[in-house]
Each structure stands twice: as C-alpha cells, then as structure tokens.
Structure 1
C-alpha cells in the first residue's frame, strides 16, 4: 500500500500544486490524506473546495485550528471525509477520526491538535488512547496539528508502536527529521505546506514583515499569481504481510508559472 501525506494546503496556489502533483502521481497512490484547513483563501474550507480536493484524488481531509473559520462548514462537514481535531469538546460538529478501507485493510486516520500556544482543548495524548482502544484497525495514521516541535515529538514517542505514522502540521515549514522511531512508527515534526513558495507560511511576504516590524494587526492574503508554488509531504509504502513500513520519502516539489498562467514542474 502506498500512502501520501500532504501538508497544509494554503489557498489557490496550494490547491493548484496539489492538483498538479496528483495528476502526475495519483495513480501510484492508494490513499491520500491532505490537511485542508487553509484551503479557502488561507482560512477554512468551503464545500466547493472540498469537492475539488476530493476530485483531485484526496481521500481524507484533516483540519486544525482554522477548521471552522468558514461558518458554512457546519452545514456540510458531516457529509464528507473531513476531520477536525478529535480533542475538541464533546458535541463539537464533525468527527475527529475516520476508518477507511484500502486494499482490504482498515486504516484509522486520527486528527489531533496540540495545546502548547494553541487553543485549550482536551488532552490529545489521552484522546488518542481512547480512539485507538475503541477502534480496530490495521494501520493508524495521525495528523498532529501543533505549534510546538517538542509537543509533536513527545506525542510521536508516546504513540510509537501503536501508530503506523505520526506527522505534524500547522507550522507550514517542512522539517528534516523524517524517520522510523524505535518501535517502528514513521514520524516527521512537520510535513510543510502546499502554496506559494515566496511567502510567509503561504501569505504575502510584505504583510508578514509589516506585522512583525510594526506589531499591528494585518489582514493576510494569499498571493494571487506566484511565480513558484510548492507541494510538501511524505509518501510511504506499507507491507501488509510484514505489517510494517518498508520505504518512505519526503516530497518537496516546485512548479514554476509560465507566461500563459499555467505551471510546469521544476
């Protein structure tokens, strides 16, 4: 089984990079999981964009602290394979995990959110315990949406041997620590993002600079026609006979804008 884990998709540039990459590699992928909480202009998710991501070949869309930025999501979140963090309080709309069947295997995908420098939600470590104990699966894949690298790393070791893969999202910068932990769990602190390359985590650079220089509120915007866009993520292969991951690689793919507005791979 070949699985693609795709980092935060930021606005139109991120959606375009994802679409281009899946056009090239989608036939090789058995399961594609992408974080879509920034897919609509950098903040939230609409139903139209949800349908577009699924049409590209995404199977499960995970979320985080921006999941509910577009209020319309309350009307459709239960109709699609969209996840919001499982450690939101009981009664929050949506679901925090989903089981999908791929090539005869049950894959449990769990979305959690860290608490360091984030919203004060339920303990993600304990919520993970409960979800794994109550749901049988052949593979367990966790999107841990968090700010602090230390919290993500601690969770990786906490889930080591129980999760097939644990990956971080939210900071939008791909880390270089992809590896198998001692008990066999594939781990990376952050997948990175899909979006405009020359940006501040997917947004116009000038606005990010202004915010830090002047310490004043700034309205962030996704670049409209970036020269370079990127896709970041991880692809791994799982052997059901060995019940383990047999290969894995980080993906960092650039696409350059042509004069006609289309993009080509670099």
Structure 2
C-alpha cells in the first residue's frame, strides 16, 4: 500500500467514526461562500485540525471545517474552506480531501470559487458555469507514483466538467431566473495577482476567468472518475487595460453580495446531483 492511500484511509476511518451519514455528493466552498454549510441538516462538523493528515486552511473567508449531513434530502459533505498551492502545500496535500471524499463514497463533486473576470461580457457579482479549465499552476497533483485504486496513470480530461450536468445547471438557472455566464477558468498558482501582460496573455489563449484554486481538485476528481460541476463567482474584472489595485477583502465582499443567488442555485443543483 502506498503512503498516500494509507493516509487517505486513516482520515476516512476517522471521519466515519464521527458521522453515520454516507455522503454521495461533495462540495468545495470557495472564498466568502462557506455560509451554505450552515443550512445542512443533521450535520456533523469536524475541524480540519482533528482529521488525520488534513492540512489547515489559512485564508480569510475559509472556516476550516468538514461538514457532513443532509441538504434537500441529499447526503452531502462540504469542505468549508479549501487548501491552496500558494499556502505552501504540495499538490497532493491540496487535493487530499478529494481523495477522502472518494473513499467515503462521493461520486459527484461541485467545486466553487471566487475569481477575476477576463471576458468583457462579465461583471462583478456574476455567476459563471465552468465549461473547461487551463492549468497554469506549473504543477499537477498526479505527478509521482500512481495509485491504481484511485485511477489510471494517464486519465482523460476531455470532459473535465461533466457536459450533462452543465446542461442541467443551465436549465435550472433559467427556471430559477438566475443569470449565469459560461466560460473557461484559468488556474494559476498565486498568491500575487497577475500583471497586465499576463492578463492579456490569458485572454489571448481563451480564458474567461482567472483564479488560484479549483484546477487541482478537478484533476484529481477526474482521476477517480467523479462527475464534476464547477461554479465561479466573479468578484472583480481583471482586464489589463482597466486594471486597478485589488485586495482579498474586496474579493470576499463581492462574494458575500452574490451569496443569496449562489446559495439558491447550489441547493437546486444538489437535488439534480442526487437524481
């Protein structure tokens, strides 16, 4: 047994002892979006610091709790705060919770994030359905020995974000009268925001948004053949010609303003994922 698999199993066993509910849907909540976890029924909340081998979230707006329970009659598990490459964690550590999700029984994953908009049709506060991503982190969580228990050495990424689930989300948004954009997410390492020249490059290669998360988790989820859906909250416009200084506090503030529509949509998506 490899070291990674051993650690994942130890973390999984600890969580199973704390919660009797077997989750089938996993959710990763990004900056300013963790409030959704408060609405889970029959919830068991576990501090990351208590789970064997779990990293600790160090970013403002990330609560640092694993929450298991029911939402809209579906068994779910939520990461209330994620881990980032720029915090100094390895890619294996960043994606460790997704491996644990899989061992617990999760087959569908909803990833969310706060990000910068590159597409001129977008504006702060918009929600965007992620249709694809570009990995510009300079790393990959699958580098190193491959655990066949999790997936193949060379996993396919051509359907990284499940097309059928994307259609379901678009129909839901229309039914709920929630405006939603579609686009490609560029994942960078951070923690510095990008220069004007770098932002121009991203637009040139086809990115609609840019952020410092999500891509590693989605790669690992695809490795384990989870079905993935991704939602971004656009907190600022990262257009080079109009670029102004940006702070993390501004990002969290706009994410907070978008929360009502975000939560409304996510709760409906959970029902769809459970079907």
Q: TM-score, normalised by structure 1?
A: 0.32
Which of the pair is proportionally richer in helix? 2
Relative contact order (C-alpha < 8 Å, sep 6+): which is higher?
A: 2
Higher normalized strand content (fraction of residues): 1
